Amino acid sequence: MRKQIAAANWKMNLSIQQAEDLMDEILKMEYGLSDNQEVLIAVPFPYLMRIKEKLSTQKQFNICAQNSAATKNGAYTGETSAEILKSIDVFYAIIGHSERREYFHENNQLLAQKIDLALASGIKPVFCCGEPLSIREANNQNDYVETQLKESLFHLNATQMKNFIIAYEPIWAIGTGKTASSHQAQEMHLHIRTVLCTQYGHEIANSISILYGGSVKASNAAEIFEKPDVDGGLVGGASLVAAEFSTIIKSLKK
């Protein structure tokens, strides 16, 4: 069975003390996670080492970077490369988040470079895709997301894509108060898996975890996660509240 994943994206929030307290609160809960369930915690770069230490005894919890550079090394002030992440034993990174695309103008070709460098360093990408409101309203979301997949991922071979992680983010449902229905989530997740199947075949497509990333909350997680092609969530604001995120973790499919 595909990995069922609850991924927390803390974004640019919390002091180090608040971050440690939040992690302690989350880890106090009992989860009984199975081998096919996993929790990723994506924290601001300065906190990676400290939070990773807290997760060191948690078998199903792993630390995750919020980004990784499109260059291997060099004079790129403020960037953090996949090689640097590997050197501190961080083996997951979010790549292509909608905020990186929108605010930092990261396009599909640049994200392909980031994916390649991450994989070369043994970093597992959580690749984000998704459409803005104008595309959804024009009913062009399927073609839009398919293009994102093709231009950033389809140069990879089947071995590289096996057990990959993709997060679908309907941009119009992030921080807006709007939430895609569970039916809309399943519809797009199925489309993504169908596109992957056409390129890589049934076995590979069905090994890829596809997470939903549009305002997942404790109140809607179970309904969304029960859909057959939804393999968990990439969680923003709700991951900053221990009780909320704990409920989301418990909502993962067994």
- Number of Cβ within 10 Å of residue 98's Cβ equals 21
Is there a contact between 41 and 98 (Cβ–Cβ < 8 Å)?
A: no
* Set 99, 106, 131, 169: catalytic member: 169
- Number of Cβ within 10 Å of residue 85's Cβ equals 25
Residue with tokens 């792993």: 62
Query: How far is it between the farthest Cα atoms of the chain?
Result: 48
Give the rounded distance of the alpha carbon of 77 from its chain centre. Answer: 25
- Per the DSSP assignment, residues forming a β-bridge with 8 are 41, 235
- The token pair at 96 is 């292509």
**Known catalytic membership, residue 169:** yes
- Residue 162 to residue 153: CA distance in whole angstroms: 12
Length of the chain: 254
Is there a contact between 218 and 244 (Cβ–Cβ < 8 Å)?
A: yes
* Set 97, 99, 131, 189: catalytic member: 97
Q: Give Cβ neighbours of residue 77 (< 8 Å, ≥ 6 apart).
A: none
Active-site residues, by number, are: 97, 169
